[in-house]
Amino acid sequence: MNVYRRSFLVAVLTLFCWWFEGASAFKRSELQAQEAAAIRGWKQGQGWGWIWGKEDEVGSLNAINPSMVLKAISLVKQGKVYDLGVSYDRTSYKWPGHSPGEVLSFRTPEGVKRQKDLDFTLPAANKAGLAWHSSALFINDNVATQIDGLGHITTGEDNHWYNGFKEADWGGNWGIRKTDVTTIPPMVLRAVLVDVAGFKKVEALKGSTTITVDDLRKTLEWEKTDIHPGDAVFIRTGTLRYWGETGSDHEKIRSHDSAGINLESAKWLVEQKGAILIGSDTSGLEVTPAPAGSSSFNPVHEYLLVQQGVHIGEFHNLEELARDRAYEFCYVAATNKIKGSVAGFALRPMALR
């Protein structure tokens, strides 16, 4: 083959590659546009917001539909289940603004038999000597693996939260009466792991590291994956590699727990990518302390929960997903239904592949 013919073929192949890449990009863009149009309530550049009616208590999760569920389930090819929950007990690390938890044995076999306060436990009616264990829980509704409800954060002089519900109208001595945890529907969603710690080749991000939009973009490119409108997004800092069995090494966890996204990153995830749920492996998702000039100590929480109606997942264990490079998966979660509580707590959500 002479040099001219070879050069001609190289030029043709180069042009073909450019055309194919452009056509593929156009097709991806077209498909993403179709997906976005199919997601009820989300508008690129604006996100979600208070669009579901004056009495709505669900927020962006209103958009979940059978097609989204089927899309998520279609990702399950291996039958592998990842446990995203962390174990919790009285020694576990918690954010300092929440109360500690305690588990007390309310009834034990010895106590049941000694107290003799229930007729059916007495020997005459209980020849087998049957007894039981039960526990009384004194626990904050924001501990361990959790999903913040839309009533968790309030703002302004009137202490309003999502959709304009006000403390004076809907607060109370036995929990909130609008957007409590019972309004969070069961979730079966396509989910994306954004392994920022893995991309940066560190065990865990240093405390107070800000995860920028550029960090998110580059990590997604490194993973060769993308976020579609209606996806759940989980951002890994590496913090939970230090949780151990019960999260009792407070100093080690605290030294990394403050890494997280800033307001610009949250807005990009919601308004440009269409995230319907955003979570991480830390106690608060966002970077702390808040960047200089922020309107509050938790600007990302205010933006997501109050302004956009997007729930926040915290202390999700993403370590095994990262080891397997499982960047796309089916996320399954359902919160406990304790009326008045502001977060689904001590959960055990799953990733399926």
Tens of pLDDT, residue by residue over 72-124, are 999 999 999 999 999 999 999 999 999 989 999 999 999 999 999 999 999 99
Which one is predicted more confidently, 246 or 1?
A: 246
What is the mean predicted confidence (pLDDT) over 52-72? 98
CATH-assigned architecture of domain 37-94+140-352: 3-Layer(bba) Sandwich (3.50)
Q: Taking the model in full, what pTM does it have?
A: 0.89
Q: Say what percent of the chain tops pLDDT 90.
A: 88
pLDDT confidence band for 186 (50 / 70 / 90): very high
For the chain, the domains span 37-94+140-352, 102-138
What tokens does 110 get?
A: 């010895």
pLDDT higher than threshold 50 for residue 32: yes
Distances from the Cα of 345 to the Cαs of 97, 148, 185, 193, 299, in angstroms? 15, 8, 15, 21, 22
pLDDT digits (tens, 9 = 90+) for 209-238: 999 999 999 999 999 999 999 999 999 999
pLDDT digits (tens, 9 = 90+) for 248-287: 999 999 999 999 999 999 999 999 999 999 999 999 999 9
